[in-house]
Amino acid sequence: MSDTSQLTADAAVPGAGRRPVPRIQVGRYRDLSLLPVIFVLGVIGFIVSPAFLTSDNLIGVLQQTSELSLLVLGEAMILICGRMDLSLESTIGVAPVVAMWLVMPSSGSATYHGIGLLPGWMSIPACLVVGLLIGGFNGFMILKLRVNGFIATLGMLTMLRGLQDGISQGKSIVEVPASFSYLGKASWIGAPAAVWICLVLFALGGLALGYLRHGRALYAIGGNTEAARAAGIRVDRITWIVLALGSLLAAFAGVLYVGHYGAVSSTQGDGWIFQVFAATVIGGVSLNGGRGTLFGALTGVIALQLVVNVTTLGGVPPLWDKFLYGAIIIVALIISRFASGEKQD
């Protein structure tokens, strides 16, 4: 049995040293491919404006990144397990609005009147539960009714946006319970709490995908659903949990957003899904599922936000922002296509 394997299988002999290491480094390298881009952006920013390399500016960028990055975190996990959720950008708006509607008193001096069903401290739990329910309903449509996930969540995107407009009467809600806005505006150890929370969530997510059996299962499900099912992985259950988790993260991003800006804006999250997809894809997550890391996705969001910051500091009028977003996505895609040598279809 061993004679024939001598030519090729020596690396496989247990204890034969550290042969697999070069391959692992190649894998890591792919993950880090956006770091040079971020570095170059930093250099450009430094050249363009002395204000770039100040802690105020950089912390500001990170704070603006935090809400978007939670959506990216959820979408990256959903994409890795081979699904897609467009409704995240509406969840970030509708979940806080529903929570406000439940906790705000039905009469009084506030400009917005809810039904006052729950006490004020219940606002964050209520918001998160709404997120879970939305994700659960997405999962129900996709996994039980077997409708097309793209169209189903596209419908949800529009429907939830409409629900938000209906409940909030199309207005921003400026009075929110103090507990609700705390996380978004507090500052811990010199940086906004939201930034720390996002870092912790990304770290937890990365560890789960790397070291938990259910996390590893996402790659198997996204890579080949049939094979995962035949290997005894509870494909539907795990996919459902991931969809619910994605919407939960979006609802939580809504909490941070409201705290950050001090109000539930009526256009909260509007149009974000394009940036979410852009960040995940330039961060190396495959739209076909089964490939990508959360670290890559995180570098994707940061790179995207730095571009905006650098151009703003460079005096480019904000009306050109959309053009730049589109251009950066296309350039990043072309670069990563040739850097990784893999087709993205």
Partner 1 sequence: MTNGTNDTKGTAPPPAVHAEGIVKRFGPTLALDRVGITVEAGDSHALVGRNGAGKSTLVSVLTGLHVPDAGQVSFQGAPAPAAGDTAAWQSKVACVYQKSMVVPDLTVAENLFLGRLGSGRIRWSALRERARDLLAEYGVDVDPAARAGDLTVEQGQFVEIARALSFGARFIILDEPTAQLDAAGIERLFGKLRELQRQGVAFLFISHHLQEVYDLCSTVTVYRDARHVLTAPVADLGKAELVAAMTGEDAGPQAAGWHAGAAAGTGDAEPVLHAEGLALDGVYDPIDFAVRPGEVVGLAGATASGNTALGETLVGLRKATAGRTLVGGRAVRPGSVPHALNAGIGYVPEDRHRQGLVLGRSVAENATLSVTDQLGPYGTVLPSRTRTFAERMIASLDIKTSGPAQPVSDLSGGNQQKVVIARALAREPRVLVAIRPTAGVDVKSKDSLLSVVRGVAERGDAAVIVSDELDDLRVCDRVIALFHGRVIAEFGSGWSDRDLVSAMEGLPSGGGKGAEE
- Residue ranges binding partner 1 (CB under 8 A): 1-2, 4-5, 8-9, 11-14, 19-20, 23-24, 27, 211-217, 219-220, 223-224, 226-234, 290-291
Q: CA torsion, points 186, 190, 192, 194, in degrees to nearest 10?
A: -100
Task: Give the nearest distance from C-beta 342 to partner 1 in angstroms.
Answer: 10
Give whichever of 117 and 231 is closer to partner 1, judged by the CB atom: 231
Residue 209 near residue 216, CB atoms below 8 Å: yes
Q: In this structure, how many other beta carbons lie within 10 angstroms of the beta carbon of residue 98?
A: 25
What is the nearest approach in angstroms of partner 1 to the Cβ of residue 299?
21
Of 137, 89, 133, 107, residue with least CA distance to 269? 89
The closest of 291, 337, 235 to 77, measured between CA atoms, is 291
Q: How far is the CB of 151 from partner 1 (least distance, A)?
A: 19
176 vs 103: CA distance, rounded Å: 9
Least separation in angstroms between residue 73's CB and partner 1 is: 20
Which residue number, 19 or 322, has a Cβ lying nearer to partner 1? 19
Characterize the bridge pairing of strands 191-192 and 187-188.
Answer: antiparallel
Q: Minimum distance from CB of 152 to partner 1 (Å)?
A: 23
Q: Going by C-beta distance under 8 Å and a sequence separation of 6 or more, which residues neighbour residue 220?
A: 227, 228, 231, 233, 290
Q: Which is nearer to partner 1, 185 or 234 (CB)?
A: 234
Eight-class DSSP state of 285: -
Closest CA to 95 of 133, 64, 150: 133
- For residue 7, the minimal CB distance to partner 1 (Å) is 8
Q: How far is the CB of 217 from partner 1 (least distance, A)?
A: 7
Torsion of CA 193, 199, 204, 207, to 10 degrees: -160
Question: What are the DSSP calls for 118-145, one per residue?
Answer: S-GGGHHHHHHHHHHHHHHHHHIIIIIS
Q: How far is the CB of 219 from partner 1 (least distance, A)?
A: 6
Q: Which residues pair with 192 in a beta bridge?
A: 187
Question: Interior CA angle at 252 toward 240 and 307, to 5°?
Answer: 105
